[in-house]
Amino acid sequence: MAFEQEIQQAAETLAASHHAVALTGAGHSTPSGIPDFRSPGSGLWEGVDPMKVASLYGFQRNPQAFYEWIRPLAKQIMEAKPNPAHFALAELEQMGVLQVVITQNIDELHQRAGSKRVLEVHGSVRTATCTRCHKQVSTAEMWPLFVASGTVPHCPACGGLLKPDVVLFGELLPLDVIYEAQQEAEHCDVMLVAGSSLEVYPAAELPNRAVEHGARLIVVNYAPTYMDGHATVVIHEDVAVILPQIAAKVRQLRERQ
């Protein structure tokens, strides 16, 4: 079995932990059919200037361009289902091993897989806020209507423009969520990085913060990250293949205790 030794070591590290946390990025959802941002030929930034279509300034200046860009992604998120990596993290939480999932993703697949405590540092497509009256609304009806028609969504209360509650370039991250994620990084004894290239800050700084406070680090990601040299275990492979194997090993170890 490929990476058998690393999978065993990761499982032993997690099984022995007292407060393990996970940090997930776009690579955690690509097996569910949601593209990442930077992959050549398939990334969401392919052929577009992200500062024009996905910045706060760009949204305010030309919301139609933003919604045209996000429409295929919205359809993919609506159709996506949690993959085995999502279910593996939910299982680790159910076992009492994983205390929280910190995610850079906006797709809610962790919650749909059964994870109960999820910190969404880049927001979520679950809600949208009116730019005029600031009313927050559920997007349960908004996204299907928008995907079907392409019509820019407006507030049901005042008719103002609706902006999805996802963090755009030039926009502040949710400070309460970031603070909670930083606290988790400082107090955990193991951090599992899964499907993140660790290139987008401030989330990318969390593993370094965890290691500086004495935590052990496990990295499961296709591409190398800047923290690989500081990790106890590094596995460059698909999270949907590796994480279920780690979770199964953890369960075996826990049952023997």
Catalytic residue at 187?
Answer: no
Strand partners, 119: 102
Cα–Cα distance measured from residue 129 to residue 124, given in angstroms and rounded to the nearest whole number: 12
- Calpha distance 25→38 (Å, rounded): 12
Q: Which residues pair with 20 in a beta bridge?
A: 98, 190
Catalytic-role residue among 28, 110, 122, 154: 122
Dihedral (Cα; 176, 35, 165, 143), 10-degree rounding: -150
The whole-angstrom separation of Cα 222 and Cα 239 is 8
Query: Regarding beta strands 136-138 and 123-130, do their DSSP bridges make them parallel or antiparallel, or are they unpaired?
Result: antiparallel
**Residues designated catalytic:** 122
